[in-house]
């Protein structure tokens, strides 16, 4: 019985020694690491994210509370709103805009629009004030184009309005310009181009061929007479003009040129007679009327 008691004591001592021996390393580890108790309570030893603790933190363990501040007023639109604030919130009241603000830009834009409108009105006024061809004049010109020369000459003799008479005279000259021969018409075109290019020799060649191919074409003789007159060859010009008047005595263009040549060469009496014939065909020509008056006065003064 005594032996059993000794054995039990030995076993208890052995267990107690083993328990104490196992606790010593843990106690030493706790002494070496003061944060071991935090680990045992489940607190992390180092934060995974965020800034490190400031050295100016207070020593008590009471966490800092943010100072009480009033909340800023709510924005009129959320930052996620891509359309921005309403248009009414962006505009300032009139008279409260500084330089470069939307109100001032709007005023400048309105001023520019007003200036453009003023310029447009001025341009329209100028266009309206410009002389505009009357529709009746244009329609009358088109109506004259289809009439024969004999009918137009009768109408020209009766016309007393200068502008209307000028339109009739142009229609007559257009009718006379057609020779009836495509070849002669082409030669006349070449002659006109040569005259514009100041190639008078070539122009004479074309005109000579035209009068040879169609000797009864009055304008062929008249165009060559005009070129002679421009070059100062009055004798040759008068010769060709006599051919024109022999073919068409009412050719007022030939009479006008002949009257100018006679007046420039001092044949005032013959010039007056020629201009009187001209006015008998084209009485509404004011310039011819003045020429007749001047020549009559000149001849009357010479007689006295």
Cα–Cα dist 287/275, whole Å: 11
Cα–Cα dist 95/110, whole Å: 16
Which residue, chain included where needed, has tokens 């410009």?
Answer: 130
Closest CA to 272 of 254, 258, 252, 251: 258
At residue 79, the pLDDT reads 39
The per-residue pLDDT for range 208-220, each reduced to its tens digit, is 999 999 999 999 9
Q: What phi and psi, each to the nearest 5 degrees, are found at residue 35?
A: -90, 10
Tokens standing for residue 61: 């363990």
Cα–Cα dist 67/232, whole Å: 114
Residue 2's pLDDT band (boundaries 50, 70, 90)? low
Cα–Cα dist 38/141, whole Å: 117
Task: Tell which wins on pLDDT, 120 or 46.
Answer: 120
Cα–Cα dist 283/289, whole Å: 8
103-112, 152-161, 184-193, 244-253: which range is least confident on average? 103-112
Residue 224 reports pLDDT greater than 80: yes
CATH class of 180-249: mainly alpha
Dihedral of the alpha carbons of 81, 86, 92, 97, in degrees to the nearest 10: 40
The per-residue pLDDT for range 289-302, each reduced to its tens digit, is 999 999 999 998 87
Q: What is the pTM of this model?
A: 0.55
Average pLDDT over residues 158-172: 94
78-87, 149-158, 254-263: which range is least confident on average? 78-87
Task: Tell which wins on pLDDT, 263 or 6.
Answer: 263
Residue 157's pLDDT band (boundaries 50, 70, 90)? very high
Residues 6+ apart with CB under 8 A from 241: 221, 222, 225, 254, 257, 258, 261
At residue 124, the pLDDT reads 56
CA dihedral (29, 30, 34, 39) positive or negative: positive
Average pLDDT over residues 276-304: 93
At residue 110, the pLDDT reads 56
């Amino acid at each position: 019985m005594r032996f059993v008691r000794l054995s039990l004591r030995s076993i208890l001592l052995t267990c107690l020694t083993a328990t104490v021996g196992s606790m010593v390393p843990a106690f030493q580890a706790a002494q070496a690491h003061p944060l071991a108790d935090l680990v045992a309570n489940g607190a992390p030893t180092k934060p995974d994210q965020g800034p490190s603790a400031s050295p100016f933190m207070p020593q008590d363990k009471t966490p800092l509370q943010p100072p009480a501040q009033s909340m800023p007023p709510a924005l009129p639109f959320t930052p996620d709103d891509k359309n921005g604030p309403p248009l009414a919130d962006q505009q300032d009241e009139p008279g409260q805009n500084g330089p470069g603000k939307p109100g001032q830009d709007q005023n400048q834009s309105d001023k520019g629009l007003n200036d453009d409108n003023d310029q447009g009105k001025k341009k329209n006024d100028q266009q309206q004030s410009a002389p505009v061809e009357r529709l009746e004049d244009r329609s009358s010109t088109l109506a004259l184009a289809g009439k024969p020369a004999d009918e137009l000459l009768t109408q020209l003799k009766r016309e007393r309005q200068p502008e209307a008479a000028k339109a009739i005279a142009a229609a007559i000259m257009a009718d006379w310009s057609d020779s009836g021969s495509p070849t002669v018409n082409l030669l006349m075109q070449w002659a006109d181009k040569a005259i514009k290019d100041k190639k008078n020799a070539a122009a004479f060649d074309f005109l000579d061929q035209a009068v040879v191919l169609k000797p009864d074409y009055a304008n062929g003789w008249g165009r060559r007479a005009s070129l002679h007159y421009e070059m100062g060859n009055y004798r040759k010009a008068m010769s060709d003009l006599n051919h024109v008047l022999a073919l068409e005595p009412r050719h007022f263009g030939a009479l006008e040129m002949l009257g100018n040549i006679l007046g420039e060469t001092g044949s005032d009496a013959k010039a007056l007679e020629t201009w009187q014939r001209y006015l008998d065909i084209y009485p509404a020509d004011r310039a011819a009327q003045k020429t007749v008056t001047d020549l009559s006065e000149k001849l009357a003064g010479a007689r006295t």
